[in-house]
Chains A and B, each alone.
Chain A
Amino acid sequence: KQEVTQIPAALSVPEGENLVLNCSFTDSAIYNLQWFRQDPGKGLTSLLLIQSSQREQTSGRLNASLDKSSGRSTLYIAASQPGDSATYLCAGQGGATNKLIFGTGTLLAVQP
C-alpha cells in the first residue's frame, strides 16, 4: 500500500531564502509524482508533474526532483516570496491501484 509522507510539517522562512520541501513514498512503482499548492480554504493548484521516466521538472522558481529508487521527491523554491505562503502537497500516482495518494502536506510561511 502506497504511503506518502512529507517533511517538515511546517516551515517558516524569511523572504528571499531558498528552501526545500521533502516528500517520501513507500512504493517505488509509481507512474508520476505531482506537487500541488493549496491556499487556505481553497482547492488545489498543480505546480509540477514528474513522470516516472523523468528526474526533474522546472517551472519558474520551482524545481521538483524525483528519485524512484530511494522513494523521494523534493520541491525546491528559489528566492521565496510572501506570496509563496501556502500548504504544499505531494501526491504519487500509480502502482497497483493507479490512484493519486496524497502526502501529509507542508505548511509554508514566508515572512516579509
Chain B
Amino acid sequence: GAVVSQHPSRVICKSGTSVKIECRSLDFQATTMFWYRQFPKKSLMLMATSNEGSKATYEQGVEKDKFLINHASLTLSTLTVTSAHPEDSSFYICSARDSGGLVSYEQYFGPGTRLTVT
C-alpha cells in the first residue's frame, strides 16, 4: 500500500513553455502533499506544501507565480512550471501524507519527474 505516482517521469520542453507535473496517491487520501526539487548530486529541497482545497505554502526563495501548485482533490496535486527556463531543469519529487494512516506524519514519495528545459 501507500503508493504515490508521478506523471510524466521525464519531460523535455522548450524555454518559455509551461509544464505540468502530476502527483497522485493511488491507494490513500492525502490532504497534504509536498513538492521537492533535487539538483544533480544534491539533496532534496522542499519547495512547497500543498494542502487540499487551499493555497499552497511556499518555502522562502521559491517563486509562487513560477511554480503553480494545485491540490484540487484528496488524491491529486499538480505542479506547473510556468515559462520554464534552462535553470528550471531539475528532478522534481512529490510526497504525500496519508490522512488516515496510523503514522500520521509519515510521507510516501513518488518516483520523481526529470524536467529538461532546452
A interface residue numbers (CB < 8 A to B): 31-32, 34, 36, 41-44, 46, 49, 89, 91, 93-94, 98-105, 107
Return chain A residues, CB-CB under 8 Å to B105. Answer: 31-32, 93-94, 98
Contact A46 B109 (CB under 8 A): yes
A105 touches B49 (CB 8 A): no
Residues of B contacting A94 in the complex (Cβ-Cβ under 8 angstroms): 105
CA distance A107 to B42 in the complex (A): 11
Query: Is the beta-carbon distance between B111 and A49 smaller than 8 angstroms?
Result: no
In the assembly, what is the distance between CA of A98 and CA of B105, in Å? 9
Instruction: Confirm or deny: B67 has a beta carbon within 8 angstroms of a beta carbon on chain A.
Output: no
CB A5 to nearest CB in B, in angstroms, measures 10
Decide yes or no: A105 and B43 within 8 Å by CB, A43-B93, A49-B103, A100-B34 being known contacts: yes
Q: Is B107 within 8 A of A100, CB to CB?
A: yes
* Contact yes or no, A89 B43, CB < 8 A: yes
Assess whether A102 is in contact with B103, with CB atoms less than 8 Å apart.
no
